A and B are shown apart, each in its own frame.
Chain A
Amino acid sequence: MYKSWWKILASVLVLYSVIGGFLMDVPHLPILHESIRNLYFHVPMWFTMIILYLVSVIYSIKYLGSADEKHDLISVEFVNAGVIFGFFGLITGMIWANFTWGEPWPNDPKLNSAAISTLMYMAYLVLRNSLEEEQKRARISAIYNIFAFPVMIVLLFVLPRLTDSLHPGNGGNPGFGGYDLDNHMRLVFYPACLGWILIGVWIATLRYRIRIIENKQLAE
């Protein structure tokens, strides 16, 4: 975790995806036109968010087994970073929707699900604030985190598939990979995903290390 090679890799990949994303060839599709380039920024945000929440849940489960304060700190900082990426995902999506679907917030199940899951994790943060005692706070918020995670999975991956959605891959629409993610786009898209996930993990670990230092100073 403290090694620097993956941080350099993350920066290079994200830089590459920004430059490549704006300059390289994209397929010319009706309605989407050049806005298809937003794919390189919008979709990786959600992938990063899911990965960050997943890590957080894993550490919550670990916390219940170990009662180690560090696991709790990792879990909360990954949620903090995940919420930020969730907001970025919503914002990039709203900008994209404004140009392709005509309004920033069309009544789409995937949008609503994403908003609700963000609410859920903000409720987790509120729950943490309302508990004073540290060990109790860590334990109870870990329980809520684990309890909410399967519901979030249902929200984001099951419900949108049951109803009609504007998003590709839902309600019978083929996924993006199906027909319009051509090989040129893959060249940018996959590195962008990996780069943003690494950036997300980097942010979360930085915040975690700050918390560790703060705790040390408090203890002295």
Chain B
Amino acid sequence: MDLFSQVKFLLHKEVVMEWRSKYALNGILLYVVSTIFVCYLSFKQIPPITWNALFWIIMLFASVNAITKSFIQENRSRQIYYYTIASPQAIILSKVIYNMGLMLLLSSIALVFYMLVFKNPIGDPLYYLLAVLLGSISFAAVFTMISGIASKANNSGSLMAILSFPVIIPLLIVLIKLSKNAMDGLDRSVSLNEIGVLAAINIVVITASLLLFPFLWRD
């Protein structure tokens, strides 16, 4: 099988697995919704800058929780089986793509619910949505590799946070700035710089993952 068909096959497997045990997906959706609700009950009303920052913080924690399990949930023998039938690049690529899809779904639901409870005028809704989608793709790209690294250690839960937060902060700074520009309804050409940086970081991170994962998985 070539790389493309392997990725397609593994993606199909990921989706089927997720669908069979819906608890993980439902759990993370419930996690986001209840976090937003807790924030709503404790803040009631928030100024626009906090509104933007709070959304990204909620998304940060939700995505760490959603993606941490992507390597941990699979037991050892099943992982060994994958490694005999697929190339490491196909495995990491399928995980990254699957997590991107998961994050896109998660962040759109979160955004809708967040805007439902916290009313806040957005100057350029389409561009804000673009920022959110770009953000979920970048979170998925970074966290997938980190969760692979963390899954090799003993207490992977706390290690995941320690390892991923410093790496995600540059992305988060750019994302908050980009979405703030969209919220204020600034001219779209103002944010092109930020989009370029985001794209560059994503390309670097995904390339690094593809190069490094073959060394990570063999035990």
Contact A144 B149 (CB under 8 A): yes
Report if A32 contacts B (CB, 8 A): no
Contact B154 A130 (CB under 8 A): yes
Report the contact-size class of chain B (Cβ under 8 Å from the partner): 20 to 34
Contact of B149 among A113, A143, A158 (CB under 8 A): A143
Residues of B within 8 A of A158 (CB): 197
Contact A151 B197 (CB under 8 A): no
| Distance in Å: Cβ of B92 to nearest Cβ of chain A | 12
Report the contact-size class of chain A (Cβ under 8 Å from the partner): 20 to 34
Say yes or no: A159-B174 contact (C-beta < 8 A), given A119-B166, A147-B208. Answer: yes
- The majority secondary structure among interface residues of chain B is helix
How long is the Cα–Cα vector from A21 to B34 in the complex, in angstroms?
Answer: 58
Residue of B nearest to A154 (CB): B170
| Distance in Å: Cβ of A83 to nearest Cβ of chain B | 13
Report if A139 contacts B (CB, 8 A): yes
Quick one: CB contact mask for A98-131 with B, threshold 8 Å, 1 for yes?
0000000000010001001101100100110011
Residues of A within 8 A of B67 (CB): none
Contact A127 B170 (CB under 8 A): no
Contact A144 B170 (CB under 8 A): no
Binds A, one of B8-16, B35-43, B77-85, B155-163: B155-163
Residues of A within 8 A of B200 (CB): 154
Contact of B201 among A113, A127, A140, A154 (CB under 8 A): A154
Contact B159 A130 (CB under 8 A): yes
Contacts from A to B (Cβ < 8 Å): 64, 109, 113, 116-117, 119-120, 123, 126-127, 130-132, 136, 139-140, 142-144, 146-148, 150-151, 154-155, 158-159, 162-163
